[in-house]
Homo-oligomer: A and B are copies of this chain.
Amino acid sequence: MRDVLAEAAFALFLERGFERTTVDDIVSRAGVGRRSFFRYFPSKEDAVFPDHERCLADMTAFLEAAGDAEPVDAVCDAARIVLRMYAANPEFSVQRYRLTREVPGLRTYELSVVRRYERTLAGYLERRCDGARDGALRAEVIAASVVAAHNNALRSWLRSGGEGDAEAAVDHALGIVRETWGSGAGRPPAVPAADGEVIVMVAAKGAPMWRVVQQIESALGER
Contact = CB atoms under 8 A, between A and B. Distances in A.
Contacts of A208: 182-184, 188-189, 191
A209 interface: yes
A199 to B, nearest CB: 6
Given A145-B144, A147-B144, A188 B211 contact: yes
Interface stretch (A19-27, A47-55, A213-221): A213-221
A88 interface: no
A63 interface: no
Copies, count? 2
A65 interface: no
A74 interface: no
Contacts of A192: 204, 206-207
A143 B111 CA distance: 16
A138 interface: yes
A171 interface: no
A177 interface: yes
User: In the complex, which of the residues A151, A191, A195, A220 has the most CB atoms of chain B within 10 Å of its own CB atom?
Assistant: A191
Nearest to A148: B144
A199 B208 CA distance: 13
Given A183-B210, A184-B208, 7 more contacts: A137-B152, A144-B144, A145-B148, A183-B208, A191-B207, A194-B205, A197-B205
